[in-house]
């Protein structure tokens, strides 16, 4: 996750014990003060932006530290401190968004107008002006994330399967490992159900959170929170939704081919009574708690046995790679492109390993504490290839912070939030067999089409499998925020979308007593998710452009920009822009293209798509 200013602004909160009410749609009009009743001027707007930037920097000092301490040591005390800081930030942002409305319609210098635009859409969690409600919202946000962070499931059947061999209580990362390694249908189902038992207590809190957040949105002149979330993409909300639908339509056939093939293999493994033809896949069988990425199924779907691959977990373990070696390897990729090494404090202050003696939020994130170049990551690293990939993802955030650190706080964000998520992911596409040989993780690289297919399958299980999940999470939230989905249908709507997009379904009955969305980090933590969908499209578009800059010819999946200064310069130039320009400007600078474009991902996987078509012959693909 990206814990830059953008993230700081998202987490705000407040209160009241409001039961769910449909979002008020009439903006609350506050009376004008004397100053506001005089005509606004350009000078005043510029001074306003300058003040906001200074205040944000000051607020970030305490807010980031409180959030850091809470995330790395969850106690009632750190929760309390974090809530207080959230409250202050939310109060400030909501007040400034309201004040800024007086400059609307004024002909402003570009940077000032851009700053006000970014401010307007910065309140991912808008707080009402009522202090009690705001404090409650802050408290709810902190509590929801903590419940998730502390979640565990205990069962005699799990004894010996966690880190502590004597314990029968497993935390999320341990449960995830069981899901990815074990094959027994019933054990997998128990683990899946077990983790989903942490979230029902969140349900009423979430309902209250939505109601208060919507009140805040109305005060700022929005219909509801979804209007803020969809609004900040340099186009109207309706255009943004249409863009996301366009991209999904372009990649959907590729996803369905993979789904079809994987389902057939799962039928072989678990039987057609458990994995039915023409039906959604049971959600607990895809090797991942949310069925969002399917790398764990690689051995089941490997196109050509033993022909080589890029999952170098075995080699990493054999060579005794630890967290430091893994993070250093990630850093070396960025420095090979011309970026600066991470500061000494990064190594001193980051949290790399899961502490044994306390609760932490293990979900990986990257930070620039106090917007001051105090870069850190927080992650519970294991020695495996997936975590090496996640390290690159997180460092992508850190390097974005590093490159735009010279800008005023309002510009310290990605060109859009999908750009921020897509930087590290772009570099991961350059982790090719050749590159792995260069860094000592592969002895030989087989130059054969069969090995290429294995590599493409590994990547597709992550990047292609993820696409529908990336799209549906916010579709669920947009509906919840705008009232189309009432609390009485939270779970129903969740499973309708999972079925529609991913073609997965729960293997056991779910009801409105459950709150399955809460078992996915970004819901309780209130982190928007469409950004990851965008990133998974952009990463290929960036990769194609950077490979061109590097002079690469031949298939895209063979290209690595490691050590290439020309590609590095293109990336750095874009990162340095931060959010100071509209995202199409940033995209054009890097790629020469102004639109997000799925042709790069489609081209990338073309050989795999053709192979899947062959394999799927005679199958009835899709689901009803």
Looking from the CA of 413 toward its CB, the CA atoms found within 13 Å total: 27
| Cβ-based nearer residue to ligand X8Z, 12 or 289 | 289
Pick from Zn ion, ligand X8Z, none: which does 96 bind, CB < 5 to 8 A by kind? Answer: none
Pick from ligand X8Z, Zn ion, none: which does 474 bind, CB < 5 to 8 A by kind? Answer: none
| Cβ-based nearer residue to ligand X8Z, 367 or 411 | 367
Nearest distance in Å: CB 540, ligand X8Z = 15
Residue 399 binds to ligand X8Z (criterion: CB under 6 A):
no
| Cβ-based nearer residue to ligand X8Z, 86 or 393 | 393
Nearest distance in Å: CB 425, ligand X8Z = 8
User: Of 1-9, 34-42, 174-182, 440-448, which segment contacts Zn ion by CB under 5 A?
Assistant: 1-9
| Cβ-based nearer residue to ligand X8Z, 2 or 115 | 2
| Cβ-based nearer residue to ligand X8Z, 374 or 387 | 387
* Nearest-angstrom CA–CA distance, 48 and 34: 16
CA distances from 214 to 94, 115, 119, 483 (A): 13, 24, 18, 10
Nearest distance in Å: CB 418, ligand X8Z = 11
Using Cβ positions, the residue closest to Zn ion within the complex turns out to be 421
Break the chain down into helix, strand, coil percent, rounded to 5.
60, 5, 35
* Nearest-angstrom CA–CA distance, 315 and 149: 31
Residue 390 binds to ligand X8Z (criterion: CB under 6 A):
yes
Determine the distance from the C-alpha atom of residue 616 to the mean position of all C-alpha atoms in its chain, rounded to a whole number.
Answer: 31
Radius of gyration for the alpha carbons in the chain, expressed in angstroms and rounded: 24
Indicate the SS3 state at residue 211.
Answer: helix
Nearest distance in Å: CB 7, ligand X8Z = 9
Pick from Zn ion, ligand X8Z, none: which does 71 bind, CB < 5 to 8 A by kind? Answer: none
* Nearest-angstrom CA–CA distance, 113 and 95: 18
| Cβ-based nearer residue to ligand X8Z, 180 or 390 | 390
Nearest distance in Å: CB 2, ligand X8Z = 6
Nearest distance in Å: CB 364, Zn ion = 7
Nearest distance in Å: CB 603, Zn ion = 25
CA distances from 305 to 213, 291, 455 (A): 52, 24, 12
Strand 281-282 versus strand 504-505 pairing type: parallel
* Nearest-angstrom CA–CA distance, 7 and 15: 20
Residue labelled with tokens 């990939």: 389
Helix pair angle (490-497, 203-219), 10° resolution: 90
Nearest distance in Å: CB 379, Zn ion = 11
Contacting residue, 217, 254, 326, 364, with ligand X8Z by CB under 6 A = 364
| Cβ-based nearer residue to ligand X8Z, 2 or 485 | 2
* Nearest-angstrom CA–CA distance, 7 and 413: 9
Which residues have C-beta within 8 Å of that of residue 465, sequence separation ≥ 6? Answer: 255, 258, 286, 291, 292, 293, 294
Pick from ligand X8Z, Zn ion, none: which does 412 bind, CB < 5 to 8 A by kind? Answer: none
Other C-beta atoms closer than 10 Å to the C-beta of 358 total 10
Residue 1 binds to ligand X8Z (criterion: CB under 6 A):
yes
Q: In what order do the strands lie in the sheet with 374-378?
A: 2-3, 365-369, 374-378
Q: Which string of DSSP letters, residue by residue, matches 117-183?
A: HHHHT--SSPPPS-HHHHHHHHHHHHHHHHHHHH-EEE-GGGTTSSSSTT--EEEHHHHHHHHHH--
* Nearest-angstrom CA–CA distance, 295 and 426: 18
Number of residues binding to ligand X8Z, judged by CB under 6 A: 7
| Cβ-based nearer residue to Zn ion, 176 or 528 | 528
Using Cβ positions, the residue closest to ligand X8Z within the complex turns out to be 1
Among candidates 329, 548, 350, 529, which has minimal Cα distance to 441?
Answer: 329
Number of residues binding to Zn ion, judged by CB under 5 A: 2
Residue 472 binds to ligand X8Z (criterion: CB under 6 A):
no
Nearest distance in Å: CB 147, Zn ion = 22
Judged by CB under 5 A, the chain residues 393 through 432 that form the site for Zn ion are 421
Residues 238, 478, 401, 371: is their CA dihedral positive or negative? Answer: positive
Pick from Zn ion, ligand X8Z, none: which does 390 bind, CB < 5 to 8 A by kind? Answer: ligand X8Z
Residue 502 binds to ligand X8Z (criterion: CB under 6 A):
no
Residue 532 binds to ligand X8Z (criterion: CB under 6 A):
yes
Pick from Zn ion, ligand X8Z, none: which does 532 bind, CB < 5 to 8 A by kind? Answer: ligand X8Z
Nearest distance in Å: CB 394, Zn ion = 7
| Cβ-based nearer residue to ligand X8Z, 532 or 542 | 532
Pick from Zn ion, ligand X8Z, none: which does 364 bind, CB < 5 to 8 A by kind? Answer: ligand X8Z
Nearest distance in Å: CB 393, ligand X8Z = 6
Nearest distance in Å: CB 386, ligand X8Z = 10
Dihedral pair phi/psi, residue 143, rounded to 5°? -65, -45
Q: Give the residues lining the site for Zn ion (CB under 5 A).
A: 1, 421
Q: Give the residues lining the site for ligand X8Z (CB under 6 A).
A: 1-2, 364-365, 390, 393, 532
């Amino acid at each position: 996750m990206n814990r830059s200013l953008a993230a700081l602004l998202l987490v705000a909160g407040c209160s009241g014990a409001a039961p769910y009410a449909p979002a008020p749609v009439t903006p609350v009009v506050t009376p004008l003060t004397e100053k506001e009743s005089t005509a606004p001027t350009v000078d005043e707007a510029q001074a306003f932006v300058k003040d906001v930037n200074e205040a944000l920097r000051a607020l970030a000092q305490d807010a980031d530290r409180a959030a850091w301490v809470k995330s790395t040591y969850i106690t009632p005390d750190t929760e309390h401190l974090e809530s207080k800081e959230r409250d202050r930030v939310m109060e400030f942002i909501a007040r400034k968004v309201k004040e800024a409305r007086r400059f609307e319609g004024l002909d402003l210098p570009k940077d000032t107008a851009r700053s006000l635009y970014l401010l307007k859409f910065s309140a991912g969690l808008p707080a009402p002006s009522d202090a009690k409600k705001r404090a409650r919202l802050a408290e709810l946000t902190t509590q929801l994330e903590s419940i998730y962070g502390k979640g565990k499931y205990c069962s005699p059947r799990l004894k010996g399967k966690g880190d502590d061999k004597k314990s029968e209580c497993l935390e999320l990362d341990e449960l995830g490992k069981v899901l990815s390694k074990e094959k027994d249908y019933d054990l997998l189902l128990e683990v899946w159900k077990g983790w989903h038992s942490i979230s029902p207590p969140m349900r009423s809190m979430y309902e209250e959170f939505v109601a208060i957040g919507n009140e805040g949105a109305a005060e700022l002149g929005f219909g509801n929170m979804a209007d803020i979330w969809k609004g900040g993409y340099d186009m109207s909300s309706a255009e943004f939704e249409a863009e996301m639908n366009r991209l999904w339509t372009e990649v959907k056939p590729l996803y369905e081919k993979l789904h079809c093939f994987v389902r057939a293999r799962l039928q072989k493994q678990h039987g057609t009574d458990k994995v039915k033809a023409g039906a959604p896949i049971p959600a607990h069988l895809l090797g991942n708690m949310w069925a969002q990425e399917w790398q764990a199924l690689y051995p089941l779907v490997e196109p050509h046995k033993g022909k080589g691959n890029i999952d170098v977990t075995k080699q990493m373990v054999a060579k005794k790679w630890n967290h430091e070696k893994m993070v250093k390897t990630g850093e070396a990729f960025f420095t090979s492109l011309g970026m600066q090494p991470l500061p000494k404090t990064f190594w001193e202050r980051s949290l790399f390993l899961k502490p044994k003696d306390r609760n932490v939020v293990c979900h990986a994130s990257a930070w620039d504490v106090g917007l001051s170049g105090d870069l850190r990551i927080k992650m519970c690293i294991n020695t495996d290839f997936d975590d090496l990939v996640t390290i690159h993802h997180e460092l992508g955030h850190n390097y974005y912070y590093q490159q735009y650190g010279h800008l005023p706080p309002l510009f310290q964000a990605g060109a859009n939030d999908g750009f921020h998520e897509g930087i590290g992911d772009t570099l991961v596409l350059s982790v090719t067999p050749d590159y792995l040989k260069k860094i000592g993780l592969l002895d030989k690289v087989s130059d054969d089409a069969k090995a290429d297919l294995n590599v493409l399958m590994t990547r597709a299980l992550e990047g292609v499998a993820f696409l529908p999940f990336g799209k549906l999470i916010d579709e669920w939230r947009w509906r919840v925020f705008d009232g189309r989905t009432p609390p009485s249908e939270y779970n129903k709507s969740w499973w309708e979308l999972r079925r529609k997009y991913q073609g997965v379904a729960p293997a056991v009955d779910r009801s409105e007593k459950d709150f399955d969305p809460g078992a996915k980090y970004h819901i309780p933590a209130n982190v928007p998710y469409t950004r990851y969908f965008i990133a998974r499209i952009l990463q290929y578009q960036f990769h194609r452009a950077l490979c061109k800059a590097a002079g690469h010819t031949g298939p895209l999946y063979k290209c690595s920009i490691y050590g290439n200064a020309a590609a590095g310069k293109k990336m750095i130039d874009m990162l340095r822009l931060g959010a100071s320009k509209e995202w199409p400007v940033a995209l054009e600078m890097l790629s020469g293209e102004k639109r997000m474009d799925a042709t790069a991902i489609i081209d990338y996987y073309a050989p795999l798509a053709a192979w899947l078509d062959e394999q799927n012959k005679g199958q009835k693909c899709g689901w009803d």
